[in-house]
């Protein structure tokens, strides 16, 4: 099989296209996709998330998460607060501005992502999500 | 839908896993996945490939391709030769050593990729390839 039909190569290209489409939508909100991923997860959390949990949920290195949270703190979109359960642990929580920006950014990002996925019909998208989930969440 | 079920996020994670698996197999041959992609395409070509064509086929920036070809030239795996059709165009062609290394690297890389795709059965892999191809080769 020619290299260009290699499933790893096709996955990289498709992933790159989705990331570029999402970044294009996020740019007007001053965000890139990894910052947006951190902001999204903390906005969905009832209590805030520790940086360690963010790293695990997003499959990022802890040092990357610290840098992304720093970016979001500087932009006024999140804060680090001591956990009520354990004051040595800091939780990352969204600010009011962070929640607003995230909501606006999500609308644009989801529309651009849907456009990039246009070649697939609704059944295929659902199947693609199921298969990617199987690949990503392999019991170790 | 929670952010972690976002199809763009899942695609990035799955793609990252496949790239890491492939890089792990390629490391013992002194290659990384993008160098390997260039080496593979020129080994499959009857005549060699111009850097411009490599950029197009691999969806990379021309400047990235130049750097990758430089890496492979330094490692003695490819050469730049004037095109017989137009001596102003340089074609990238594999050396004998390049063909050998590529064949050995492909065996390891394909085995690691297959292992990373283990959670999907043969039908699902075929379907995944078809869907990724649809996403990547969108008529513009």
pLDDT-derived band at A87 (thresholds 50, 70, 90) equals confident
Q: Is the pLDDT of residue B1 over 90?
A: no
Interface test with A, best of B2, B5, B12 (most A CBs within 10 A): B12
CB spacing of B11 vs A14 below 8 angstroms: yes
Tens digits of residue pLDDT in B28-40: 999 999 999 999 9
Q: How far apart are CA A95 and CA A100, in angstroms?
A: 9
Mean pLDDT of all residues in A23-28: 96
Residue B129, min C-alpha distance to chain A (Å) = 6
Q: Is the pLDDT of residue B88 over 80?
A: yes
pLDDT-derived band at B139 (thresholds 50, 70, 90) equals low
Residue A124 lies in a domain: yes
Residue of A nearest to B41 (CA): A3
Whole-model pTM: value is: 0.90
Q: Is the pLDDT of residue A140 over 60?
A: no
Range of the domain at A40: 12-134
The domain total for chain B is 1
Which of A21-30, A83-92, B36-45 has the weakest average pLDDT?
Answer: A83-92
Which residues in B lie closer than 8 A to residue A121 (C-beta atoms)? none
Residue A117 lies in a domain: yes
Cβ neighbors of A11 (< 8 A, separation 6 or more) are B11, B14, B15, B18, B132
Residue A1 lies in a domain: no
The CATH number of the domain holding residue B85 is 1.10.10.10
Its ipTM equals: 0.92
């Amino acid at each position: 099989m020619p290299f260009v039909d290699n499933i790893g190569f096709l996955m990289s290209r498709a992933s790159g296209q989705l990331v570029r489409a999402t970044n294009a939508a996020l740019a007007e909100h001053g965000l890139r996709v990894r910052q947006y991923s951190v902001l999204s997860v903390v906005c969905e959390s009832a209590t805030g998330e520790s940086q360690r949990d963010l790293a695990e949920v997003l499959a990022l290195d802890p040092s990357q998460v610290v840098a992304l949270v720093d970016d979001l703190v500087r932009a006024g979109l999140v804060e680090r607060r001591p956990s009520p359960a354990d004051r040595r642990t800091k939780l990352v929580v969204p600010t009011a501005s962070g929640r607003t920006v995230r909501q606006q950014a999500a609308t644009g990002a989801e529309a651009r992502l849907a456009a990039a996925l246009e070649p697939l019909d609704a059944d295929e998208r659902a199947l693609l999500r199921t298969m990617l989930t199987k690949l990503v969440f392999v019991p170790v």
